[in-house]
Structure 1
Amino acid sequence: MDENIKAWLFDILQSIKEIDSYFDPGNRRYDFYIQDIKTKRAVERDLEIIGEAVNRIKKAKPDFELTNARKIIATRNRISHGYDSISDEMVWGILINHLPRLKAEIEKMFS
């Protein structure tokens, strides 16, 4: 695997781990998330990093297989440029439903 792609995959994995660290283990709660502006902004920043890393991977190697790559990039663009259209529910859905799968997919690439 190309060294740049490895670095970007590592950045994605690191951002997911950072997001995980914002919550007490086994206690990821929506009510905490929506009440803590620092956590919300930190999560959004990590999602931007994930989206930018995926974008760089796809530009460097368009045929690189990564589930939901277009949606990840679109989410990054929406957070960066359409910040007023971001809802807590949308971000929470990504945290609960999509990040665990993305994390598993990337960890598998490194194993």
Structure 2
Amino acid sequence: MTQTSKAQYRAVHPIDYLRSYSGKSVLIKLKDGSEYMGKLKVIDPSMNIVLSETKEVTETSKVVAILGDVFIRGSNLLFVSTEPDKVTFFEPDQPKQPEAPPNQSTTEEEEE
């Protein structure tokens, strides 16, 4: 690796990366499955987050509630997306149903 290519890669802490999105829209999913979209106001070293103009949304982006300013405890975070318009959820594959055993037809022998 040359000196110039080393300079291109600079380590950035996740907190600093997220702080660069202050005032921009983010999508937050919590461990309980709930999702929130809002503008990032504050993030601290424990990943506690304050959002403004917050909406609780479903995975299909349907608005469930308009909440305004909210505080989200960092220990509840599952993920934070800095590109909420690019997040896509897919239906999980349905588990295959066990196949039913083939019909066992019993033929009765006729007694003569």
User: Taking structure 1 as the reference length, what is the TM-score of the superposition?
Assistant: 0.25
User: Taking CA–CA contacts closer than 8 Å with sequence separation of 6 or more, which of the two structures ends up with the larger relative contact order?
Assistant: 1
Q: Identify the structure with the greater helix proportion.
A: 1
Task: Pick the structure with greater CA Rg.
Answer: 2
Q: Identify the structure with the greater strand proportion.
A: 2
